[in-house]
Chains A and B, each alone.
Chain A
Amino acid sequence: MANIHTSLCDMFGIEQPIVMAGMSLGLDDAMPSPPRLAAAVTNAGGLGVMGCGSRKPETIDWCIREFKKHSSGPLGIDLLLPVTMGTGSNPETKAEVRARLEKDYPKHVAFVKEMVQEYNLPEIDLDDAEEEAMTAELLKKEFEVVLDHKVPVFVAGLGDPSWVVPLARKQGMKVGGVVGAVRHAERQKAAGVDFIIAQGTEGGGHTGSIATFPLVPQVVDTASPIPVLAAGGIGNGRQIAASFVLGAQAAWIGSAFLVAEENDIPIEHQQQILDGNSGDFTLSKYRTGKQSRSYKSPVKDAWAVSGLDPLPMPLQGILMEPVYKASRSIGMMHLDTATAGQVAGLVTERKPAKDIVDRLVAETHEALDNMKSFMS
């Protein structure tokens, strides 16, 4: 039997080359990679990464403490570090951002009002007027929490992690970033990251346009000798085996863990993943301003026909809040749909995270063993 324990496993201090992707889209009470789930993945021999992008520093602190209650093993935190943002360097409250949207982007605001009307959505009290919107300053505060806790693994889910590398290294942390194109990998390599995640367009959430098959070997060759994790479209052991074959040293897996029993996303979202076809998970910038893959939705369709240009982060997300928060509040989950990848088409069972990890490991061994028969 092939030994699938790679050098990257040693770097992370884990047994199995299976890393749960840090996923962050979702409200605090419906996290896609909550502490209990991340701990379960780590306890099963993989690495649990919690997606904490756009969460408040105190929530990030809570996530780390909560993880430690359930596991003494390694953990990772994933934050979004966009290169360009629609906010300046000074703190700005959400109320201030909304006022700015009304003034500068009347057509965008009109689109949101149209959607609220079209689907009879209630006007909800967002109750966050004084909350700080995402700014470069806030990102620094978020990252401070990760530094203070010396979280073993830090991942930039998008953007440029260059500025965090020296800070993290001092704390003995390992740093990597998700890339969707070769030139992003070049930038991260130059910044001195410890590992790179090459994510194909089929991935859920923020993702690029190049598919895993053409992307992974190109990033492996560019990143060498920095180890690469394959991401996008990985939900069974055959896909993990194929990732190894393409030169990756581990798999970064998101959607398959969205149906874990320990997940906190809405049950309707899990159902979309369990029942949906691969073709139902489509790309759009309507939700966050950056290209992201999620289950189909009439709001997404309306956005596509509107011809509007997406606003930079975090403006687009704040713009859309009246639609998605209101749809959630009344359970209209066909409007605010699951963020997940094309591999959802082959995810059909809700299971405990440990069972998912065990299955993936067993299937990977089986797939690698089967390959022997092609060399007669």
Chain B
Amino acid sequence: MANKLTTPLSEMLGIKYPIFLAGMAVGGIQETAPTPIKLVAAVSNAGGLGVLGDSFSNLDEMDRGIQELKRLTNGHPYGIDFLLPAVRADVTATSNKEVYEQLSKEYPAHIAIMKEVISQEGLEEAAVSQSEPMSTDLLKRKIEIVLDHKVPIFAAATGEPPEWFTKRGHELGIKFIGMCGAVRHAERQVAANVDIITAQGTEAGGHTGNISSFVLIPQIVDKVAPRPVLAAGGIGSGRHVAASLALGAQGAWVGTAFLASEETNIPTDHQNQILNGRSDQFTTSKFSSGKQQRAFHNIVKDAWIKSGLTALPMPLQGILMEPMTNAAKKAGRWDLVGNPSGQISGMLTERRPAKDILMEMVDEAEETIDAMQRNLRS
């Protein structure tokens, strides 16, 4: 049977199926990236839309990465996603190391919690990286690269794109996706003139709000109409894709389900947490980035909860944690490193090629929609 699942949104973007790979990133490393170039290309080439979570450690790498992605996707649309957080600390230092040195003077209690984990776990404290911290200027230069390459889709995982970006982007034919976790964010995204709105429920992995997909999606759909909405958070099967359409969305933004793919680069230990974990083991906290994030529960999270301390704003909290995170990575202690994934993990049990994951979703969504048109009495 030929597949036929389409929506006005998939037609507008020229993709076969309205299923998007969520751009996911945890720090600038392609080698351990959740959405490396090969996964993005696999999803786009299979008829979905692959979105790359910015995992480049510098601007040159980003430039080369996009060229490579263009080559591999061979004319199929793809996207790139990075954070444009509305609330963040104003950083003037030129390296994470420099920021860390300031933090150790200003936030001794925070540093102490982090160091306690190091000694308790018998880790050897690691150095803080020399990479350039997130700043308005750095974001500007990244945006220029997106514009230079006329990347077909740009998604901001948090915050909204500045006006000059959407204006110049639209002139080049770039489509913008904005992320919302509450109705008031949708108003901001509409004001920023994005083309597509993602409504992401609290059950999602990574940065996420408190309102669930079931409740959030129809409210956002009504708020931003006629703009199309992508459903996100808790989508791991074709039933979820079909349910998203029932709620009024025109497509699904799928993250965690693709972390069970063969093409992702996340550490095997993290993939096993997703394949073996229960939904309630994926909990929210602000300790790893400064913004609320859902990730596999671990003892580092417990230490923060016990401390009662408030997390620092982005990007400070992440930099503050570096000596511990880098040490854990070096020692292969992935259980101490944040694994941002969603509650849907409880349903995922098999590692498969991305194409198979996508096609099973499409097939199941179609079967479910068909079944809904018949008698529901079993």
- A residues in contact (CB < 8 Å) with B: 2-7, 10, 17, 181-183, 200-202, 208-215, 217-218, 232-236, 238-239, 241-247, 249, 277-279, 282, 307, 341-343, 345-346, 367-368, 370-372, 374-376
Contacts and interface: CB of A to CB of B under 8 A. Distances in A.
A182 B131 CA distance: 43
B234 A182 contact: no
Interface string B347-378: 10000000000000000001011101111111
Contacts of B374: 2-3
Closest A-B pairs by Cβ, 7 of them: A213-B234, A233-B214, A211-B203, A202-B212, A242-B243, A241-B246, A211-B212
Interface in B275-314: 278-280, 283, 308
Contacts of A278: 182-183, 211, 215-216, 219
Contacts of B342: 214
A232 B213 CA distance: 11
A374 B245 contact: yes
B151 to A, nearest CB: 27
10 contacts: A3-B377, A213-B233, A213-B344, A214-B279, A235-B215, A243-B243, A244-B246, A279-B210, A368-B372, A368-B373
Given A181-B278, A211-B201, A375 B215 contact: no
A43 B286 CA distance: 48
A212 B216 CA distance: 12
Interface of B: 4-7, 182-184, 201-203, 209-216, 218-219, 222, 233-237, 239-240, 242-248, 278-280, 283, 308, 342-344, 346-347, 366, 368-370, 372-378
Contacts of A210: 203, 279-280, 343, 346
Contacts of A218: 279, 346-347
A242 to B, nearest CB: 4
A81 B343 CA distance: 27
Contacts of B370: 375
Contact of B246 (A6, A307, A371, A375): A371
Contacts of A17: 376
A374 B5 contact: yes
B182 A279 contact: yes
A202 B240 contact: no
Contacts of B242: 245, 371
B199 to A, nearest CB: 11
A205 to B, nearest CB: 15
A243 B218 CA distance: 13
Given A2-B373, A7-B377, A212 B214 contact: yes
A4 to B, nearest CB: 6
Q: Among A241, A243, A375, find the residue whose CB has the most chain B CB atoms closer than 10 A.
A: A375
A277 B5 contact: no
B310 to A, nearest CB: 12
Q: Among B182, B203, B240, B244, find the residue whose CB has the most chain A CB atoms closer than 10 A.
A: B203
Contacts of B237: 217
B118 to A, nearest CB: 26
A238 B246 contact: yes
A342 B210 CA distance: 10
A202 B214 contact: yes
Contacts of A307: 308
A149 to B, nearest CB: 29
Contacts of A343: 214-215
A2 B212 contact: no
B203 A214 contact: yes
Given A244-B376, A346-B215, 17 more contacts: A2-B376, A182-B279, A208-B280, A213-B201, A213-B234, A213-B235, A214-B203, A215-B343, A235-B215, A245-B369, A247-B239, A278-B183, A278-B215, A282-B210, A371-B242, A375-B366, A375-B369
A368 B366 CA distance: 13
Contacts of A209: 280, 283
B213 A213 contact: yes
Given A4-B376, A368-B373, A217 B216 contact: no
A200 B373 contact: no
A175 B214 CA distance: 27
Contacts of B4: 375-376
Contacts of A211: 201-203, 212-214, 233-234, 343
Contact of A372 (B212, B236, B369): B369
A5 B376 contact: yes
A73 B351 CA distance: 50
